[in-house]
């Protein structure tokens, strides 16, 4: 019976190590999904954008306007948007179980939107969900950052 407490402690330590490894792996996967999403937007790859976004994705932009998945795909397909730079940085991930994550950070944008030059930094909050084994963006919100 004296062996039982020791076994419980050892089991708890192993379980904590496995959970920490899983969290680290999931954090890495979430960050990679964010980076891949940025590359898809940068290159105007509508199909990759569609795969990155959930069907019911919404974005609240820095003007308070709400757009959806179809809007982002149409922008990429039409050429209405062309980015020279679309890069996330200072990202921090918070995991909620193994199927939801919130990512905060900043995005540097340079390019042309609807004939107007864009050169700005925004603060973002993204909510990602894991669907069919991959992380997808379900909702985003951006706010302007004073430059």
For the domain that residue 10 is a member of, what is the CATH number?
A: 3.10.450.50
Q: Write down the pLDDT at residue 22.
A: 62
Distance (Å, whole) CA 69 – CA 54: 8
Nearest 5°: the CA angle 126, 39, 50 is 65
Assess contact for 88 and 107: CB atoms under 8 A: yes
The per-residue pLDDT for 120 is: 94
* Host domain of residue 101: 3-144
Residue 85 in tokens = 């730079």
Q: Count the domains in the chain.
A: 1
| 24 DSSP assignment | H
Cβ-in-10-Å burial (0-12, 13-18, 19+) of 116 comes to: exposed
Q: Are 124 and 88 in contact (CB under 8 A)?
A: yes
Asked whether the predicted pLDDT for residue 146 surpasses 90, the reply is no
* 86 strand-pairing partners: 109
Residues 2-57 have pLDDT tens digits of 555 554 454 554 444 444 446 889 999 999 999 999 999 999 999 999 999 999 99
Distance of CA 40 to the CA centre of its chain: 12
Q: What pLDDT, on a 0 to 100 scale, did the predictor assign at position 62? A: 86
Instruction: For 111-130, write each residue's pLDDT tens digit.
Output: 999 999 999 999 999 999 99
Beta bridge partners of 143: 123
Size of the chain, expressed as the number of residues it contains: 147
Q: Rounded to an integer, what distance in angstroms lies between the CA atom of residue 119 and that of residue 112?
A: 9
Q: What is the pLDDT of residue 102?
A: 98
Q: How confident is the model at residue 92 (pLDDT cuts 50, 70, 90)?
A: very high
Return the higher-pLDDT residue of 5 and 95: 95
């Amino acid at each position: 019976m004296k062996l039982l407490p020791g076994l419980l402690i050892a089991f708890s330590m192993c379980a904590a190590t496995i959970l920490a490894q899983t969290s680290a792996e999931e954090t890495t996967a979430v960050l990679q999904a964010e980076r891949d999403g940025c590359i898809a937007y940068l290159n105007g790859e509508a199909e990759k954008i569609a795969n990155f976004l959930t069907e019911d994705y919404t974005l609240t932009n820095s003007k308070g306007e709400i757009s959806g998945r179809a809007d982002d795909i149409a922008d990429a397909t039409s050429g209405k948007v062309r980015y020279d730079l679309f890069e996330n940085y200072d990202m921090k991930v918070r995991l909620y179980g193994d199927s939801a994550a919130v990512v905060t950070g900043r995005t540097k944008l340079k390019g042309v939107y609807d004939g107007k030059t864009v050169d700005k930094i925004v603060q973002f909050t993204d909510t990602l969900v894991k669907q069919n084994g991959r992380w997808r963006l379900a909702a985003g919100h951006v706010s302007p950052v004073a430059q």
